[in-house]
Amino acid sequence: MTKYDILIIGGGAAGLAAAVSARKENSNIKIGIVEKNDRVAKKIHATGNGRCNYTNMDIRSDYFYGDKAFVDKVLSQFGTEDALSFFKELGIMHRVEEGRVYPISNQASAIADCLRLYLTENDVDFITETYVNSVEKTQDGFKVGNLFAKKVIIAAGGKAQPKLGSDGSGYKLFESFGHSVTQIKCALVSLKTETTVTKGLKGVKAFARVALYDKEKQIATDRGEILFTDYGVSGIPVMQISRFAKKGMTLEVDMLPDLSRKEALAEIYERVYSLPEREGGELFSGLVNKKIAVPMLKWAGVEKTSVKAKDFTDENIRNCAEFLKKLTLSVLGNNGFENAQVSAGGVELNGFNAETMESKLVKNLYAAGEILDVDAICGGYNLHWAWATGAIAGKSAAK
């Protein structure tokens, strides 16, 4: 039976960070990473649209969901500067876009490669294509399949995008040791909405404010670039509010968020009066994406896109303003774990020591990454959580 000092279950962001910091802490121990995929870091390649937004210049617990006191303790040990220098030491120069940090080469593969190369060069074993079904406590350590380890770090991720490896199996491993797991839900996911009105908008991007309503009550709001799809609405602001969305709620889309309703209406009247001969289909060009005109005019009761501005009724004009300022769509659900970027919920934090990430129930057992009951908004925070908890767990396990 192969014996390890530290075995890490899951070769994702948290597991790889744990291995790097364990090796840096102690060059004399045997470290292995058990990964079900045929290679490690599969998800990292898909992050940030292939660019990997790996941390943020403004890391605070305000951007995380979960026990803030616990998150604060983790972030005080591993903040932005720690993330930057962790990767700088592995060869990554960074660039910043509105606070979001990317590798300067703009390639997520750079982050995956620098971790994999460091670990290969520093004698960490990759035990790939190995699915961990159970971890058993023995007298002097743990049995993981046919492997033995003195210490185990479980970093098997959540349930988001199982095609990349994380299928929720890690939760059961912790439950077998008496740890509690909260309800797991999708977060950072596109929303399915009724599509009768938006059908013609498929593929259209707009800078918008989106707001989620439960009857009259506003539940969440955000703004940024959205994308209309054949099933509903996508884009970062939609993903940010998706964790609160439930079937039966409504999504309000404001495609002119910098204009008040009155200003939007005045702008449309201004166009109608100054360009009376212009056809409806062309009238809104320069104000919103041209493709919006067709479904908007239909919704506004304008018979054809060839109807000239001078023939618009007051009701048509008011309806156009309403469409652009307050397009109201019924939420049918979300796009599921298959498409979510993270899972909300996880192994309860009160079972762990935030200074070490060690279990309070089982000595020498550690947790790191998305498997824990913490998730965050878009912007590099979820990966930061994975690096931070991984680095803390790896370092303390290696001591």
Ligand X SMILES: Cc1cc2nc3c(=O)[nH]c(=O)nc-3n(C[C@H](O)[C@H](O)[C@H](O)COP(=O)(O)OP(=O)(O)OC[C@H]3O[C@@H](n4cnc5c(N)ncnc54)[C@H](O)[C@@H]3O)c2cc1C
Query: Which residues sit at the interface with ligand X, rule CB under 6 A?
Result: 9-15, 34-37, 42-43, 46-48, 52-53, 131-132, 155-157, 160-161, 165-167, 169-170, 341-342, 369-371, 380-383, 386
Shorter beta-carbon distance to ligand X: residue 66 or 165: 165
Cα–Cα distances in Å, from 255 out to 63, 215, 223, 300, 323? Answer: 25, 21, 10, 15, 8
Question: DSSP state, 63?
Answer: G
Query: Minimal distance in Å, beta carbon 288 to ligand X?
Result: 28
Shorter beta-carbon distance to ligand X: residue 232 or 346: 346
Query: Minimal distance in Å, beta carbon 5 to ligand X?
Result: 19
Query: Minimal distance in Å, beta carbon 217 to ligand X?
Result: 29
Shorter beta-carbon distance to ligand X: residue 157 or 200: 157
- Token output for 213: 């309503």
Of the candidates 252, 178, 179, the one whose C-alpha atom is nearest the C-alpha of residue 215 is 252
**Strands 147-154 vs 141-144: parallel, antiparallel or unpaired:** antiparallel
Shorter beta-carbon distance to ligand X: residue 280 or 369: 369
Shorter beta-carbon distance to ligand X: residue 255 or 378: 378
Shorter beta-carbon distance to ligand X: residue 107 or 328: 107
Name residues whose C-beta falls within 8 Å of residue 28's C-beta, 6 or more positions apart in sequence.
none
Name residues whose C-beta falls within 8 Å of residue 141's C-beta, 6 or more positions apart in sequence.
148, 149, 150, 151, 364
Of all residues in this chain, which one has the CB nearest to ligand X in the complex? 12
Unique residue bearing structure tokens 């979820």: 382
Query: Minimal distance in Å, beta carbon 349 to ligand X?
Result: 14
Query: Minimal distance in Å, beta carbon 370 to ligand X?
Result: 4
**CB atoms closer than 10 angstroms to residue 271:** 20
> For residues 269 and 286, what is the distance between their CA atoms, to the nearest angstrom?
15
Query: Minimal distance in Å, beta carbon 196 to ligand X?
Result: 29
